[in-house]
């Protein structure tokens, strides 16, 4: 891979696609040429990159000739169809959908945790689920020190995780409620404004949702820990941006708050914000548009042996998506 890569962004006009373009620019990724790809309805749109307009072109089977790296964020169906075509054309795909995450031939990577797995790619590398990635930023350093057995967790997931239409829905509903108008809904099955919905992704026969099981399944793969167990409730909250997760983790070894804090303070990509006496703790308002995740509310779990509770918050469009994808691309250049 040369130092001036031809980089394609698939799904360039979506919320994550736009963040991918901004992140490539901010992190000064060595882009020789940027190719923006989207569906027919977005063709001709112009997006800024390094002060210049780049015109969006249509995604076709021929789009990947001469492309070195393609960052995909256009949904699982598009990824399943076009990622193998791109890989065959000699391009390395970093895919943000769930299409290939559990494929044994595809590395699933959070660079701060398992960057070495990038080397095993066969043309496609998967970006993890956003809630999983943000949780593991705090959990993995603790696992390395104390050996995690299982976690119980609840997520507080921002509407931008669903996309631009969901942001508009929250904004519209707040307006409707303030002006005492009837509330209309299109994206979510229930009103999201001034409400929380314990339903993210589709339900499985077990009663868990797919999103809830991603934490266990993807966590095992990323941490190389096949025994890891996670019981999760995923909740959509009326927040624009940044997911937060409340975690109770049980470890093999005894853990103290001081020891945990010392480990987390050294963890890459993570800020410790933990001063309850000053009312300082991670919040989505403060982690939005930031690269680092934040962890706080550290305390011994009073219901578990060797247990620690913590609260982690991170921008799901960045560490949960665009930033992680660009970091994977950076690993490819090393």
More confident position, 122 or 163? 122
Q: Who's near 278: CB < 8 A, 6+ residues apart?
A: none
C-alpha 54/C-alpha 61 separation (Å) is: 20
What is the pLDDT confidence band of residue 144, given thresholds at 50, 70 and 90?
A: very high
Can 179 be counted among the known catalytic residues? no
Backbone angles phi, psi at 151, to 5 degrees: -135, 155
C-alpha 114/C-alpha 156 separation (Å) is: 26
C-alpha 125/C-alpha 109 separation (Å) is: 7
Burial (Cβ within 10 Å: 0-12, 13-18, ≥19) of residue 177:
middle
pTM: 0.96
Q: Give the CATH architecture of domain 132-316.
A: 2-Layer Sandwich (3.30)
CB burial of 89-124 (b: ≥16 within 10 Å; e: otherwise) equals bebbbbbbbbbbbeeeebbbbbbbbbbebbeebebb
Query: Could you give the strand order of the β-sheet that contains 148-157, starting from the edge strand earlier in sequence?
Result: 229-236, 148-157, 243-251, 307-314, 293-300, 270-272
Q: Which of 121, 143, 234, 243 is catalytic?
A: 243
pLDDT (average), residues 122-130:
98
Summarised one tens digit per residue, pLDDT across range 63-104 is 999 999 999 999 999 999 999 999 999 999 999 999 999 999
How many CB atoms neighbour CB 45 within 10 A? 15
C-alpha 119/C-alpha 178 separation (Å) is: 53
pLDDT (average), residues 45-50:
97
Residue 167, pLDDT above cutoff 70: yes
Where do you find CATH 3.30.360.10 in the chain?
Answer: 132-316
pLDDT of residue 164: 86
Where do you find CATH 3.40.50.720 in the chain?
Answer: 5-128+321-333
pLDDT of residue 314: 98
Residue 1, pLDDT above cutoff 80: no
Summarised one tens digit per residue, pLDDT across range 236-266 is 999 999 999 999 999 999 999 999 999 999 9
Torsion of CA 214, 215, 216, 217, to 10 degrees: 40
- Tokens 């962004």, residue located: 9
Q: Give the CATH architecture of domain 5-128+321-333.
A: 3-Layer(aba) Sandwich (3.40)
Q: What is the mean pLDDT of the chain?
A: 97
Q: Which of 91, 130, 234, 293 is catalytic?
A: 130
Can 243 be counted among the known catalytic residues? yes
pLDDT (average), residues 42-69:
97
Summarised one tens digit per residue, pLDDT across range 296-320 is 999 999 999 999 999 999 999 999 9
């Amino acid at each position: 891979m040369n130092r001036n890569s031809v980089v394609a962004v698939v799904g360039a006009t979506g919320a994550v696609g736009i963040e991918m373009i901004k992140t490539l620019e901010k992190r000064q990724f060595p882009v020789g040429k940027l190719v923006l790809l989207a569906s027919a309805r977005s063709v001709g749109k112009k997006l800024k990159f390094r002060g210049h307009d780049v015109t969006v072109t249509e995604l076709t089977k021929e789009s990947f000739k001469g492309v070195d790296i393609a960052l995909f964020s256009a949904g699982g169906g598009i990824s399943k169809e076009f990622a193998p075509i791109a890989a065959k054309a000699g391009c390395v795909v970093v895919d943000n959908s769930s299409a290939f995450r559990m494929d044994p031939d595809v590395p699933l990577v959070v660079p701060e945790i398992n960057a070495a797995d990038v080397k095993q790619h066969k043309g496609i590398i998967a970006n993890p689920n956003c809630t999983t990635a943000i949780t593991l930023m705090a959990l993995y350093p603790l696992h390395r020190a104390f050996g995690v057995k299982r976690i119980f967790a609840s997520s507080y997931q921002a509407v931008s995780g669903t996309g631009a239409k969901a942001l508009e829905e929250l904004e519209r509903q707040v307006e409707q409620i303030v002006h005492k108008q009837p509330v209309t809904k299109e994206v979510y099955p229930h009103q999201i404004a001034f409400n929380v919905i314990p339903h993210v992704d589709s339900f499985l026969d077990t009663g868990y949702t797919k999103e809830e099981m991603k934490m266990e399944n993807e966590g095992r793969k990323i941490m190389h820990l096949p025994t890891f167990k996670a019981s999760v409730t995923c909740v959509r909250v009326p927040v624009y941006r940044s997911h937060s997760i409340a975690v109770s983790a049980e470890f093999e070894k005894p853990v103290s708050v001081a020891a945990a804090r010392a480990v987390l303070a050294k963890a890459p990509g993570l800020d410790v914000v933990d001063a309850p006496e000053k009312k300082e703790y991670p919040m989505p308002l403060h982690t939005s548009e930031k690269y680092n995740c934040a962890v706080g509310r550290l305390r011994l779990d009073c219901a578990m042996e060797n247990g620690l509770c913590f609260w982690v918050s991170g921008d799901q469009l960045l560490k949960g998506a665009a930033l992680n994808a660009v970091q994977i691309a950076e690993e490819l250049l090393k």
